[in-house]
Amino acid sequence: MDNKLLSVSQCVLDPEEIKENLNRLSKSQDITKWDIGATSSNDISVQVYKGEQKQLKASQRNSITLRVWNKNNMIGITSTTDISENGLKKALESAYSATKYANKQETPDFSPLSKAALNNVDQPIMNSWGIKKLFNKLKNAESELLNKHKSIVDVPYNGFSEVNYERLYINSDGAQRHLNNTQASLYLYAKAQEDNRKPRSSGSFKIAYGSDDINIQECIDEAASKTIAHLDYRPIKTGKYLVCFKPEAFLDLLESFSNIFNARSVIDGVSLSNKDSLENYISSPLLTLYDNGLDKTNIGGLTFDGEGTPTQKLCIIQSGILKNFIHSESTAKAFGVLPTGHAGLGAKVSVSPDWLIVSKAKGEHSSKESLNHKNTKEEYILIENLNALHAGVKATQGSFSLPFDGWHVKDGVSSSIESATVAGDIKSLLNKIINIEEKQISTHVGVSPHIWVDELSVTGEK
Amino acid sequence: MSAGADLVEIFFEKVDNSAILAEQDIITSINPSFAKGVGIRVFFNGKDGFVSTNDLSEIGLKYALEQALGMLGLEKCSGDRSTFLGLNELKDYGKIKSSYFEQTPQLKETINKILEATNLLKEKGRKIEVRRGSYSRNIQEVIVASSDGTFGRDLRLYQSIGLNALAIDKEYRSSIGRRYGTTSNPVQILEWDIDSSVDEIVESSNKMLYAKYVEAGQMPAVLANKFGGVIFHEACGHLLETTQIERGTSPFKDKLNEKIANEAVTAIDEGMTENAFGSISMDDEGMPTQETVLIKNGYLKKFLSDRAGEIRTGNKRTGSGRRQSYAFPAASRMRNTYIDKGEYKPKELIESIDKGIYCKSMGGGSVGATGQFNFSVEEAYLIENGQLKTPVKGATLIGEAKDILPRISMCADDLDLAAGYCGSVSGNIHVTVGQPHIKVDSITVGGL
């Protein structure tokens, strides 16, 4: 079988052709102002089950979002999977007819930075291994993981995938952006069980520009060690605990409450902040937070956002003080600043963070600086992963109640916790940060050190 | 089939969607969207390969088919090893639904209804500062053709109305939302009882605004009807899908005909309730829908099975092969899933508890790889000495399905359903959850 057939295909978007088509079609419909965001992806993925292929998949997908403005500068939008000339024609007509219902109080415009120079990033286009090789590697990885420990009975969730994707942004004012990227990812989640005990599960996830760069052995070892470590679990008493968040857990929590620094949420009244929150303390002075989609640890970071604004590094919290909100074109206009490269594309443009980077604020010292997850003798809860964030986070209220995987650490000895939840209020949590370790750790959701928080409520089964 | 495949299935999909968002007193977004695509799935020796594409040209489709065959080590060949006898006569479930598009109200009429609701929220909810109304209409045309002769077409109309409010008073906040979804009811928005929806949201907002955080611990709970059924959906329903049975991740995988729940529990999954969000005429593998009794008086009677589930686990298909779109292979998924009604009145359940929690309105939930579930409670009240007392917030219910099912000791007689979306292996699909009021003797409540 031809390996090319079973590998990731190359790009299909032709920016020049799309631009020419839109110029011609818009002119014929008397539309003078428009912009378009398009994505196209080709991907392949494999899953295995006990040495056999479970499911092999390939997909090719296109998607465009087209915005047009009418003579009164009212905006309309349409999305479609059809990038042919006919598809574009239908989308233009549909978007134009939607302009009559546009929001007169807030009309998005082209980003003033849609033609600004993009930052250079080193994102290599990697060759595809193809399905056959992905399958063989995953099969071997599953086998090795199963053999790591007699209690590992299954690897129920696993997958190895490759994707080649493109993104473009073009507007009638002459802006034109186009990027092409490749990515590969591997995940292995094992299930372990011992006699008369509950099954335990944990795993590992790796991402890189191509399969050649995926550290398969590290993924196997991490999945095995994490799963085995949770085998000897114990219930925990409900109460208030000193808690240490592992980087991934803290980043997940912070992102769930990103309305705190999201200008769209502030304008909509659903943020925990308001316009006057800037330059005020919103956390312990120990915390500094940046957003930087271009950070080298962000595999597959995009160099421009949905409106064509260049992605950039932005300081959000400096030593506990809220310094900036993240913006789209229209929110930036409302705040009298420039857009920050965090926009989607829509009639109402969404805003979201790219890649959060947490660090200990320079020059700030903690009275609990001795707290370190490697050698602390104090009793604490180490939270490895927070689960079910979509259900347990009330972002507009600021509250959370989340199940987690983690350890109860006492006198330096760790015991896996059988089942527990951590609950609290995010504003209060940010202010109860009593130490931030020095070492930043890259995860697949951002960068952060271990974060220590005092007096958090933990519900156990005792 | 000439390449030697056991079965080839083609799923064609065309969608025409429209979404409207109203915030405060204005429309802030109208988003029409269109999509077309094909998913091709090939089975061979119990394994399958799946390819999806937007490229509906002959070349594109041939390429996709060759890819799917190639994944299984099969190649197009000139010799004919095919057992394909042709497609059956088309079962066109969509024919009688072809006027749906024309019957749905005009955009302007829909906009007026949504704005009427957000305006009424302002009028009635003194502390409500943020008001949102949303409407989505999805028209999905599907054609399924398989080499076993299956040949079906359906036209599906899904509509959903959402109403959300955020009440604020100084540092106090409460966020309450309701969603109403239907299938095959073009005039849903015109029939919507706005006054009743607004009154319900305003009442809940007022009560929850000053609610204190719930104290964590183990306690008995009464879960309200309608969306309270999400507990069964998450805690048990997913574990009865052959997708989970195949993986070995369900604690019920070898429990057919064994007692897994309290005898008070009979649970059903079906696709037949008129206009319910999870109702379907045929599933996404072309099989007519049916009613499947999952648990009868505490005994596990059946799993939900799709084509792959039947091949790999031996459980007969139940018309439960569902997918979000052409981009996903079908998987065994729930439709309208509920615990059947019992003999008690809701107040009898509450009166039976000295100290516990009444969960009036649920948020979302999920189930983990080892069967542990959790779901948030949007609106809750303490129960003391058999009476409803103060409202409490921040509660999460946590447990494991096999531990909780035997603890559902009382079911009331007020079964009702609620629309929702379910995300799983084959994407986000429309479902209904439901139950009467039920009592769980003991459950872990996470809180402060």
List chain A residues with CB under 8 Å of B42.
Answer: none
The per-residue pLDDT for B375 is: 80
Where in chain B are the domains? 7-210, 213-446
CB atoms within 10 A of CB A115: 15
Can you read off the two tokens belonging to residue A153? Answer: 């009975």
State the count of interchain CB pairs (< 8 A) between A and B. 230
**Would an 8 Å CB–CB cutoff place B215 in contact with chain A?**
no
CA A239 to each of CA A188, B356, B395, B399, B447: distance values in angstroms, whole numbers, following the listed order: 33, 19, 15, 18, 10
CA distance B182 to chain A (A): 23
The per-residue pLDDT for B216 is: 85
Does B78 score more than 80 pLDDT? no
- Determine what percent of chain B is predicted with pLDDT higher than 70: 98
The enclosing H or E element of B359 equals strand B355-367
List chain A residues with CB under 8 Å of B372.
Answer: 403, 419
Q: Report the amino acid identity of residue A92.
A: L
For residues A425 and B369, which has the higher predicted lDDT (pLDDT)?
A: A425
Quick one: fold of B7-210?
PmbA/TldD fold (3.30.2290)
The per-residue pLDDT for B82 is: 66
The per-residue pLDDT for B363 is: 81
E strand residue ranges, A372-412: 380-386, 393-394, 399-410
The per-residue pLDDT for A275 is: 95
The per-residue pLDDT for A7 is: 81
Q: Which ipTM was obtained for this model?
A: 0.90
- Determine what percent of chain A is predicted with pLDDT higher than 70: 99
**Closest listed residue to residue A154, CA positions, set A48, A233, A226:** A48
Q: Would the CA dihedral through A108, A114, A118, A122 be positive or negative?
A: positive
List chain B residues with CB under 8 Å of A390.
Answer: 364, 366
Can you read off the two tokens belonging to residue B24? Answer: 């405060």
Mean pLDDT of A126-130: 95
CA distance B36 to chain A (A): 7
Question: How does pLDDT run across B217-245, given as a tens digit for each residue?
Answer: 889 999 999 999 988 998 899 999 999 99
CA distance B52 to chain A (A): 5
The per-residue pLDDT for A13 is: 87
Answer for the pair B11, B19: CB distance below 8 angstroms, yes or no: no
C-beta atoms of B393 and A459 within 8 A: no
C-beta atoms of B369 and A391 within 8 A: no
C-beta atoms of A191 and B248 within 8 A: yes
CB atoms within 10 A of CB A121: 16
C-beta atoms of A103 and B27 within 8 A: yes
The per-residue pLDDT for A421 is: 87
**Closest listed residue to residue A240, CA positions, set B272, B358, B448:** B448
Q: Tell me the CATH number for domain A15-226.
A: 3.30.2290.10
Can you read off the two tokens belonging to residue A37? Answer: 């965001």
Q: Which candidate from B35, B67, B246 shows the least CB-CB separation from A58?
A: B67
What is the longest distance spanned by two Cα atoms in chain B? Answer: 78
Helix axes A15-28, A85-98, angle to 10 degrees: 50
C-beta atoms of A403 and B248 within 8 A: no
Question: How does pLDDT run across A69-110, given as a tens digit for each residue?
Answer: 999 999 999 999 998 889 999 999 999 999 998 998 888 999
Answer for the pair A65, A36: CB distance below 8 angstroms, yes or no: yes
C-beta atoms of B67 and A6 within 8 A: yes
The per-residue pLDDT for B3 is: 79
Question: How does pLDDT run across B334-368, given as a tens digit for each residue?
Answer: 999 999 999 999 999 999 999 999 999 988 777 77
CA distance A287 to chain B (A): 23
- Determine what percent of chain B is predicted with pLDDT higher than 90: 83
Banded model confidence at residue B370, pLDDT cuts 50, 70, 90 = low
**Would an 8 Å CB–CB cutoff place B368 in contact with chain A?**
yes
E strand residue ranges, A193-302: 200-208, 233-234, 239-245, 287-292
Does B8 score more than 80 pLDDT? yes
Separation between Cα atoms, residue A382 and residue A374, nearest integer Å? 11
B228-240: b (≥16 Cβ within 10 Å) or e: bbbbbbbbbbbbb
Classify residue A133 as exposed, middle or buried by CB count within 10 Å of its CB (0-12, 13-18, 19+): middle
C-beta atoms of A347 and B28 within 8 A: yes
Top mean-pLDDT range of A74-78, A346-350, A457-461 = A74-78
Q: Which candidate from B49, B247, B365 shows the least CB-CB separation from A156?
A: B247
Q: Which candidate from A1, A94, A191 shows the least CB-CB separation from B249?
A: A191
Mean pLDDT of A328-336: 97
Q: Which candidate from A6, A80, A387 shows the least CB-CB separation from B34?
A: A80
Which of B15, B23, B29 would you mutate first to test chain A, the one with the most A CBs within 10 A? B29
Does A2 score more than 70 pLDDT? no
**Closest listed residue to residue B440, CA positions, set B187, B202, B178, B264:** B264
The per-residue pLDDT for B77 is: 67
CA distance B73 to chain A (A): 7
B92: β partners = B153
The per-residue pLDDT for B80 is: 61
**Closest listed residue to residue B50, CA positions, set B93, B84, B81, B5:** B5
Banded model confidence at residue A396, pLDDT cuts 50, 70, 90 = very high
**Would an 8 Å CB–CB cutoff place B290 in contact with chain A?**
no
Where in chain A are the domains? 15-226, 232-253+366-459, 260-360
C-beta atoms of B50 and A49 within 8 A: no
The enclosing H or E element of B428 equals strand B427-435
What is the longest distance spanned by two Cα atoms in chain A? Answer: 76
C-beta atoms of A459 and B217 within 8 A: yes
**Would an 8 Å CB–CB cutoff place B174 in contact with chain A?**
yes
Which of A41, A56, A99, A455 would you mutate first to test chain B, the one with the most B CBs within 10 A? A56
List chain A residues with CB under 8 Å of B118.
Answer: none
CA distance B378 to chain A (A): 9
CA dihedral B118, B124, B128, B133 (to 10 degrees): -20
CA distance B230 to chain A (A): 12
CA distance B347 to chain A (A): 28
